[in-house]
Amino acid sequence: MGVIKVHGAAMSTAAQRVFTCLYEKELNFEFVPVDMASGEHKKEAYLSLNPFGQVPALEHGGQKIFESRAITQYIAMEYPEKGTRLASADKPSSSFLIWKEVEAHQFDPVASKLTWEIVLKPMFGMTIDPTMVEEYKAKLAKVLDVYEARLTKSKYLASDSFTLVDMHHLPTINLLMRTQVKQLFNARPRVSAWVADITARPAWTKVLAMQKVNFYPFIILSQIV
């Protein structure tokens, strides 16, 4: 099927989802850095890869794929037998379907909002809105209460195996665990054990090693704004 090319930025949380997936699958890939500081992701060449002008974008066997969660599902299905089995080879279980949507619609909107307030605003010298922080910490606490109960039933969110569902959480959890918000994770024993487990995976360690601090603030900002 030819070379796998990932266009993106090492510090983009969405690109990190894709890198993690490729490392889990033990697939070689070519990383094509997108110079977001100069607005390369909003120029014509990049827009032909992703018309929404966001990183990452994947090229593989003549196909152009965007949206990080579409890319990870594509990779998992193209290479079911390689590396970690991140999704069922045939019909997905109902719990896989449910918890994949929970990450996208319950966890990520809240976690991304907190990341913006607590991690990114200070980097840009912007003022944190304490009301917003408290509101979203309360929302995240409710989500994590559901996760704590869920993790009494299976070791990972969708099943007893690590899947795309857990993997999709990694980049945002990584940022939040460096802030005051880590208390919300640590206060819940099963959530805390799950976070320790998934962040210790070799694939994730490789993604962290890709990061260079130079363009950190700008690249994440472009991603979110």
Question: Among 16-24, 59-67, 169-177, 202-210, which window interacts with a second copy (CB under 8 A)?
Answer: 59-67
For a second copy, what does the binding mask look like between residues 100 and 129, x meaning CB under 8 A? xxx-xxx--x--------------------
Residue 195 CA: distances (Å) to CA of 26, 97, 120, 126, 204:
22, 21, 22, 29, 12
Q: What six digits make up the tokens of 128?
A: 């944190």
Question: Among 1-9, 64-72, 162-170, 189-197, which window interacts with a second copy (CB under 8 A)?
Answer: 64-72
Question: Among 17-25, 27-35, 87-95, 212-220, which window interacts with a second copy (CB under 8 A)?
Answer: 87-95
Angle (CA) 24-79-2 rounded to 5° is 105
Chain positions 147 to 166 lying near a second copy, rule: CB under 8 A, are 149-150
| Residue closer to a second copy (CB basis): 10 or 76 | 76
Of 32, 92, 121, 159, the one binding a second copy by CB under 8 A: 92
Question: Is 42 a residue that touches a second copy (CB under 8 A)?
Answer: no
Of 17, 25, 41, 69, the one binding a second copy by CB under 8 A: 69
Question: Is 88 a residue that touches a second copy (CB under 8 A)?
Answer: no
Chain positions 181 to 220 lying near a second copy, rule: CB under 8 A, are none
Residue 154 CA: distances (Å) to CA of 92, 143, 199:
16, 17, 18
Q: Which residues are at the interface with a second copy (CB under 8 A)? A: 51-52, 63, 65-67, 69-70, 73-74, 77, 91-92, 94, 97-98, 100-102, 104-106, 109, 143, 146, 149-150
